[in-house]
């Protein structure tokens, strides 16, 4: 069986110039963990994932505090911390996406796809045509569903 037999063809995508806030909203609303980033011609430019967003947020430290007489006093105003988060949400997708994306063609065999996912420790692989236009995506769930269907 090949990628074209199990790939998801209706793909939710995002543009490089969209904000991180828009990306986070789509991921949350649609219950997905990654979004392919495409240009106007639907050519794959990158991918932005929950992992990309979480890694960036993890770099934003919370307000500094000091403990005095059993109480905790902030050294930084809460508003300053919220401002940092808001600036982060205004970043553009192109500034946070993974640009070197592993892709496959629609004729790639499922066994090869599964091996690639395990070897590269990735959860989804975009399927592109010869012009690097996005035509589908395969997630671990697609592979599991196919395996389960074959067992039954």
pLDDT tens column, 106-132: 999 999 999 999 999 999 999 999 999
Q: Which domain holds residue 80?
A: 3-151
pLDDT value at 68 more than 60? no
The pair of structure tokens assigned to 147 is 């395996």
- What CATH number did the domain enclosing 121 receive? 3.10.580.10
Residues 6 or more apart in contact with residue 87 via CB below 8 angstroms = none
Is the entire prediction scored with pTM above 0.85?
A: no
pLDDT value at 85 more than 60? yes
pLDDT digits (tens, 9 = 90+) for 16-66: 999 988 998 999 999 998 999 999 999 999 999 988 887 766 555 555 555
b (16+ CB within 10 A) / e for 67-105: eeeeeeeeeeeeeebeebeeebbeeebeebbeeebeebe
Higher pLDDT pick, 115 / 84: 115
Q: How many domains does the chain have?
A: 1
């Amino acid at each position: 069986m090949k990628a074209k037999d199990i790939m998801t063809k209706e793909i939710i995508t995002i543009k490089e110039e969209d904000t991180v806030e828009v990306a986070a909203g789509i991921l949350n609303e649609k219950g997905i963990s990654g979004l392919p980033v495409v240009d106007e011609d639907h050519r794959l430019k990158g991918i932005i994932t929950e992992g990309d967003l979480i890694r960036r947020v993890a770099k934003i430290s919370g307000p500094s505090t000091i403990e005095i007489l059993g109480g905790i006093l902030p050294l930084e105003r809460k508003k300053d911390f919220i401002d940092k988060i808001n600036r982060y949400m205004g970043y553009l997708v192109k500034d946070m996406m993974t640009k070197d994306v592993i892709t496959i063609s629609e004729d790639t065999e499922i066994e090869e796809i599964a091996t690639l996912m395990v070897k590269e420790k990735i959860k989804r692989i975009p399927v592109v045509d010869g012009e690097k236009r996005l035509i589908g995506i395969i997630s671990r769930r697609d592979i599991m569903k196919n395996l389960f269907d074959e067992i039954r």
